[in-house]
Chains A and B, each alone.
Chain A
Amino acid sequence: MSTTAPNVLTDADYKVADLGLAEFGRKEIRLAEHEMPGLMATRREFADSQPLKGARVSGSLHMTIQTAVLIETLTELGADVRWCSCNIFSTQDHAAAAIVVGPHGTPEEPQGVPVYAWKGETLEQYWWCTEQMLTWPGGDGPNMILDDGGDATLLVHKGKEFEGAGAVPDPASADNDEFRIILETLQRSLAADGQKWTRIADGIKGVTEETTTGVHRLYQLAETGDLLFPAINVNDSVTKSKFDNLYGCRHSLIDGINRAVDVMISGKTCVVLGYGDVGKGCAESLRGQGAKVVVTEVDPICALQASMEGYPVLRLEDVVETADIFITATGNKDIITAEDMSRMKHQAIVGNIGHFDNEIEVVALERWDGIEHINIKPQVDEYRFPDGHSIILLSEGRLLNLGNATGHPSFVMSNSFTNQTIAQIELWTKNEEYSKQVYVLPKHLDEKVAAFHLDALGVKLTQLSDEQAAYIGVPVAGPYKPDHYRY
């Protein structure tokens, strides 16, 4: 942001809940910066070289305080940025306001980054926000995408596909509400400009993807040859998935449950569905509270891991009538059905911490014959079945750690977002080295992200001697592990 010619945003350049929350947001951003040493070190390292100069980054990622520090890191490195959230409930309105106002603006004269996000969007509003975030003033598009879950990438790919076909499929043919709304959004866009998404897609040099679910989509696109630009899979940096997914969820799962319902967790039986990195963190956090934790899995390796950690590994039907808290963390769909919920104990708590809201059959629950829906408070809903028993659904089946609490803490997000920033720099500055495939960051950058976070924890690394390094065949300064090492 140039201080000599401040770029004051107009009302059309953003849509957030309330710019009056900006001061509170700025205070929390200031506290978060101290907890995000990786991002701050990255700012210092690249302050002079401005590697993202010329990059127009469209970001779709939970608009939280931690993301605010990421956004301002990108702008400090020279990028132009537009942002939306990747979930209708995950925006922290004070963070969104502070980013729009910017470090030098005021609510009256905002000078920050255009943000389209507020907590509690409808699905229509959500996809409108996503479209605004991808639409730059003057009809330009982004030349970089920073994605979390792949919604921005999906809109660009579907938009170009339908423009190529000359028509958007009938929204009434969609098998779910969300895809119907996506089709309606693109229908309107095609009617106004038949080449918009094609132009945007052609201008994009790459995408960096934050999470397991989005990465899964990218590999599918790459496999069929439909991926339109190079992608970096940030999720599978060790310093991302082995930290954010594991320790982040270990922290924020119980935070979400406590803020939502404040039930005593110790003594309860909790079912964690899915024992990947996220499920592992969830199981540990619930066990740490004194819950008896049961795991469900489809993958024999993860199932064996859970068993060796001492968790009973059963099927949902074995515990559906006796457990107290159910958490889905599978990345798959229809994990807990309405039928399952009809058999649960009175006031069983059902929540999801996987990326999308299709792990729990919420629509079928709402359409259950004779069901009564009682809203307790935002993101906490009671559904009373005709037989009189209720279940409590958190965040309408969307990720409850962000919906009911504030998501992952800054320190762990600093790891994830430093990977994001490095990935953006990598794709933007060395674009010719990447083709339309999915890549992970090289090991030495992964180790660098970790190294940024050691001082703050008082960690003292031991130094390899030349002889020791030679003995195990690694350079003294790393990388210390082969790419296939699993940590």
Chain B
Amino acid sequence: MPVLRSLAERFGAERPLEGVRVAACLHVTAETANLVRTLAAGGAEVALCAANPLSTQDDVVTALAAPGVSVHARRGEDADEAAGQVAATVAERPDVTLDDGADLIGFLHAAGRTDGLLGGTEETTTGLVRVRRLEAEGRLACPVIAVNEARTERLFNDHYGTGQSTLDGILRATNLLLAGKTLVVLGYGLTGRGIADRARGAGAQVVVCEVDPVRALEARMAGFGVMPALGAAAVGDVFVTVTGSRDVLRAEHFARMKDGAVLANAGHFDVEISLADLRAAAVGGAQEVLPLVEQFDLGDRRLNLLAAGRVVNLAAGQGHPPETMDMSFALQALAVEHLVRAAGELDARVHPVPADVDAEVARLKLRALGVSVDAMTDDQRAYRTSWG
């Protein structure tokens, strides 16, 4: 993770986060450990809990134990335990929160404990939906940086990172040959198109389901089949939900699916595939046929659910490759620095990542790749900013 490493070097020298208390709720993986260490190098005290109980890598929890860092996470913790971990993470009145799903900022708002909070950063689309709901209701009490919407984040993390790791998770769980199969991608946002492109590259026939006509048209112009989910339900061999919505696959879809169909979710929460409907349809019960593959017996057909409907790329794969997380987390670290340096100057609303932060991350990444690029000449700059 060369981008974070170069940031850690600068943070170590400048100590911009001296004494800042950072609470983070992220997937507890090796990549997250590097972010935590970068923040700590800048002088921050970091408390960390898990954004998903199945994504925690227990060896990372152990490895992170160090002065100034406290970790509240265990793989496979249940919902009550997870809630307790969130509470423990914010117990020390954080100055800044780092979220992946808005759990911390949501908890602090619900508990009325936002006094003194400089702000938060949000890593994911789903979390931003929650934060914007707070903002729309006039209840958002601090600035939140939409890390997820930075250019360097969206393109690389969602499209390339989740695109690759989702297929990786599905393949690891099922050992399925994609070539010749019909893969249905529900949701054609950046992640959806990353999955669709890669599945096509592996020889799958890709069908896209969308509710947004512009995205649906994009999918069609990219050569994918586009149809309503009810139609796709009957033809798909593998289904991947990446909508950020809920109950995208439900009883009426399960009723039409082929025997042996595989269901996976790469959206943030486990609500995109209706587990209640699936259980209700499983007249013959359910059994784990492979690790992370639960087979539901619908009487005449069987449906295979991966990772209990939770983010398949993290639960069955290893999450994003470090390269994409390197950039996301560099943005997180720089966003924390921005919140601290601009303390008190930012309104209580959702802010975009400043353009110079975005450019800085891209520059560091290019340097790590050994790629040099052109710079505009003064003449060209003048031409672009005048009627010249």
Contact = CB atoms under 8 A, between A and B. Distances in A.
Contacts of A307: 179-180, 205
Given A311-B205, A312-B205, A304 B223 contact: no
A458 interface: no
Nearest to A291: B223
Contacts of B225: 292, 312
B301 interface: no
Contacts of B222: 266, 290
A264 to B, nearest CB: 8
A308 interface: yes
A310 B183 CA distance: 10
Contacts of A311: 205
Contacts of A266: 221-223
A331 to B, nearest CB: 25
Interface string A302-322: 001001111110000000000
Contacts of A309: 179, 203
Interface string B203-229: 111100000000001001111110000
Contacts of B151: none
Interface string A38-76: 000000000000000000000000000000000000000
A168 interface: no
Contacts of A290: 221-223
A156 B217 CA distance: 56
Interface string A285-302: 001011111000000000
Contacts of A310: 179-180, 199-200, 202-206
Interface residues of B, number: 16
Q: State the main secondary structure of chain A at its contact with B.
A: loop
B30 to A, nearest CB: 34
B179 A287 contact: no
Contacts of B205: 307, 310-312
Nearest to A286: B223
User: Could you say which of A266, A267, A304, A311 has the most chain B C-beta atoms within 10 Å of its C-beta?
Assistant: A267
Nearest to B204: A310
Interface in A98-131: none
Interface in B182-209: 199-200, 202-206
Given A309-B203, A310-B200, A310-B204, A267 B180 contact: no
Contacts of B220: 267, 292
A292 B180 contact: no
Nearest to B235: A312
Interface in A235-269: 266-267
Measured as residues with beta carbon below 8 angstroms from the partner, the interface class of chain A is: 10 to 19
Centre residue among B205, B220, B222 by max chain A CB count within 10 A: B205
Interface string B11-43: 000000000000000000000000000000000
A304 B177 CA distance: 14
A336 B199 CA distance: 32
Nearest to B199: A310
A312 B235 CA distance: 11
Interface string A442-464: 00000000000000000000000
Nearest to A266: B221
A292 B223 contact: yes
A304 B179 CA distance: 10
Contacts of B179: 307-310
A308 B203 contact: yes
B204 to A, nearest CB: 5
B180 to A, nearest CB: 4
Nearest to A267: B221
Interface string B128-164: 0000000000000000000000000000000000000
A266 B217 CA distance: 10
B133 to A, nearest CB: 35
A292 B224 contact: yes
B203 A293 contact: no
Nearest to B201: A310
B217 A267 contact: yes
Contacts of A293: 223
Nearest to A288: B223
Contact of A287 (B199, B204, B217, B223): B223
A371 B179 CA distance: 43
Contacts of B203: 308-310
A266 B220 CA distance: 8
Nearest to B217: A267
A304 B224 CA distance: 20
A166 to B, nearest CB: 58
A290 B196 CA distance: 13
A308 B217 CA distance: 25
Contacts of A267: 217, 220-221, 223
Nearest to B222: A290
Contacts of B199: 310
Interface centre among B180, B203, B204, B217 (most CB of A within 10 A): B180
A134 to B, nearest CB: 47
A304 B223 CA distance: 20
Contacts of B221: 266-267, 290
B282 to A, nearest CB: 30
Interface string B103-121: 0000000000000000000
Interface string A361-402: 000000000000000000000000000000000000000000
A308 B180 contact: yes
In this complex, the member of A292, A308, A310 whose beta carbon has the largest number of chain B beta carbons within 10 angstroms is: A310
A301 B200 CA distance: 20
Interface in B238-255: none
A248 to B, nearest CB: 22
A309 B177 CA distance: 12
Contacts of A289: 223
Contacts of A308: 179-180, 203
A481 to B, nearest CB: 25
A258 to B, nearest CB: 16
Contacts of A287: 223
B195 to A, nearest CB: 14
A307 B222 CA distance: 18
A178 to B, nearest CB: 37
List the 6 closest A-B pairs by CB distance, nearest first.
A308-B179, A267-B221, A266-B221, A307-B180, A290-B223, A308-B180
28 contacts: A266-B222, A267-B217, A267-B220, A267-B221, A267-B223, A287-B223, A290-B221, A290-B222, A290-B223, A292-B220, A292-B224, A292-B225, A293-B223, A304-B180, A307-B179, A307-B180, A307-B205, A308-B180, A308-B203, A309-B203, A310-B179, A310-B180, A310-B200, A310-B202, A310-B203, A310-B205, A310-B206, A312-B205
Given A292-B223, A307-B180, 18 more contacts: A266-B222, A289-B223, A290-B221, A290-B222, A292-B224, A293-B223, A304-B180, A307-B205, A308-B180, A309-B179, A310-B179, A310-B180, A310-B200, A310-B202, A310-B203, A311-B205, A312-B205, A312-B225
